[in-house]
């Protein structure tokens, strides 16, 4: 694993994970191209029943927390490093928070099993992004492709301003969703029945524990890594729905979510490292499907390359607009 190389080697190797994920993988995907093979119904049933994939997701929980502890130990006990080497390690941990911490929690959070939902919350706690559990499942999937969804990037919106808008508005939205639920149940939004309140307490306890065990510098480094993990997640949100809109029907309601309301990618490496999340059109069309059963939908909007490459492209704003705006307009 690239992050392991960064952690073990340190020094000049601290940036290995970043260069591998956002340099080598995009180049590999350009060379390998997309492969959109789909499964027949019998194969889908077999894959859905395959427990080995579930066990793989479960093992991510202790692995992610192991890397959190390892990272905090390095920040609190290792020899001082040059600032750019330190930041390379922070970025590497940010990749863990975004890919293992939030992405795997994303899938487990869609499951109805309470144990799997608990695992999702444990992973989100390791990334200080627990509000995602509420807002994504009960907000984003309901409002995707509409102005009411903070996680849908608008046409001509710059990714850097999207980070600020989405991260703030999704956090506020999660509070609002929980307050409305408790109001319907005639409960106080300031009681411990409010899951958002419990999430904030949990995250605060994580930060306090890191401070007392590993020290202030480790705490700051972990907080920054978690923030970077959140930025990675919001960059993925940006590329997944950029410029796509659901239309209003004659009744004044938005049309039902369809595959054309999410960007799709069949580039193999990105699919593997993100557990098939890049087949995002099928995920939103049928959000209860396990990731390993997500299908390629030819009629859905297609990205020109995989997720890592698209994330890099989004940072170069003129190039992003040049490539993606004409594609997005075709679906409006």
SS (H, E, C) 277-309: CCCHHHHHHCCCCCHHHCCCCCCCCECCCCHHH
Question: Residue 38's pLDDT is what?
Answer: 60
Average pLDDT of the chain, as a whole number: 88
Q: Is the pLDDT of residue 276 over 90?
A: no
Residues 251, 108: contact at Cβ < 8 Å?
Answer: no
Per residue in 75-99, pLDDT (tens digit) is 988 766 788 899 999 999 999 999 8
Per residue in 292-302, pLDDT (tens digit) is 667 777 778 88
Q: Which of 10-19, 194-203, 272-281 has the lowest mean pLDDT?
A: 272-281
Q: Between these two residues, 23 and 267, which has the higher pLDDT value?
A: 23
Share of the chain above pLDDT 90, in %: 54
Q: Is the pLDDT of residue 123 over 80?
A: yes
Given pLDDT bands bounded at 50, 70 and 90, which one contains residue 167? very high
Residues 19, 308: contact at Cβ < 8 Å?
Answer: no
Residues 209, 55: contact at Cβ < 8 Å?
Answer: no
Nearest to 285 by CA among 256, 314, 307: 256
Question: Residue 43's pLDDT is what?
Answer: 47
Question: Residue 214's pLDDT is what?
Answer: 95
Residues 222, 64: contact at Cβ < 8 Å?
Answer: no
Distance CA 129, CA 5 (A): 26
Share of the chain above pLDDT 70, in %: 89
Mark residue 188 as left, alpha or beta (left: phi above 0; alpha: psi -120 to 50; beta: remaining). beta
Q: Residue 29, CB half-sphere, CA atoms under 13 Å: how many?
A: 27
Q: Which residues contact 260 (CB under 8 A, 6 or more apart)?
A: 244, 281, 299, 300, 301, 331
pTM, to two decimals: 0.92
Question: Between the CA of residue 225 and those of 40, 47, 221, 229, 250, what are the distances in Å?
Answer: 41, 34, 6, 6, 46
3-state secondary structure of 248: strand
Q: Between these two residues, 78 and 105, which has the higher pLDDT value?
A: 105
What are phi and psi for residue 298, nearest 5 degrees? -65, -30
Nearest to 141 by CA among 255, 283, 248: 283
Distance CA 142, CA 139 (A): 5
Question: Residue 47's pLDDT is what?
Answer: 55
Question: Residue 40's pLDDT is what?
Answer: 47
Question: Residue 42's pLDDT is what?
Answer: 44
> Which whole number is the average pLDDT over 131-138?
93
Per residue in 240-261, pLDDT (tens digit) is 999 999 888 888 788 888 888 8
């Amino acid at each position: 694993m690239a992050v392991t190389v960064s952690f073990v080697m340190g020094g000049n190797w601290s940036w290995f994970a970043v260069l591998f994920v956002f340099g080598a993988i995009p180049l590999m995907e350009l060379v390998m191209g997309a492969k959109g093979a789909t499964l027949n119904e019998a194969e889908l049933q077999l894959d859905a029943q395959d427990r080995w994939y579930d066990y793989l997701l479960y093992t991510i929980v202790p692995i992610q927390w192991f890397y959190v502890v390892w990272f905090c130990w390095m920040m609190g006990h290792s020899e001082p490093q040059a600032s750019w080497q330190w930041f390379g390690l922070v970025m590497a941990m940010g990749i863990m928070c975004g890919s293992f911490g939030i992405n795997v929690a994303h899938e487990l959070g869609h499951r109805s099993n309470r144990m799997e939902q608990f695992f999702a919350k444990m992973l989100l706690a390791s990334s200080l992004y627990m509000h995602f559990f509420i807002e994504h499942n009960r907000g984003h999937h309901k409002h995707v492709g509409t102005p009411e969804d903070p996680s849908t990037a608008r046409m001509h919106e710059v990714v850097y301003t999207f980070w600020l808008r989405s991260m703030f508005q999704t956090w506020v939205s999660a509070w609002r969703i929980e307050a409305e639920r408790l109001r319907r149940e005639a409960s106080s939004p300031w009681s411990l029945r409010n899951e958002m309140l419990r999430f904030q307490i949990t995250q605060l306890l994580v930060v306090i524990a890191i401070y007392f065990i590993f020290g202030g510098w480790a705490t700051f480094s972990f907080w920054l890594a978690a923030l970077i993990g959140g930025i990675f997640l919001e960059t993925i949100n940006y590329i997944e729905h950029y410029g796509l809109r659901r239309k209003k029907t004659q009744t004044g309601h938005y049309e039902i979510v369809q595959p054309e309301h999410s960007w799709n990618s069949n580039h193999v490496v990105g699919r593997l490292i993100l557990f098939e999340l890049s087949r995002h059109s099928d995920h939103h069309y049928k959000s209860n499907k396990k990731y390993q059963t997500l299908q390629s939908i030819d009629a859905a909007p297609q990205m020109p390359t995989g997720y890592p490459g698209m994330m890099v492209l989004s940072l170069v704003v003129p190039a992003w607009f040049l490539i993606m705006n004409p594609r997005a307009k075709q679906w409006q």
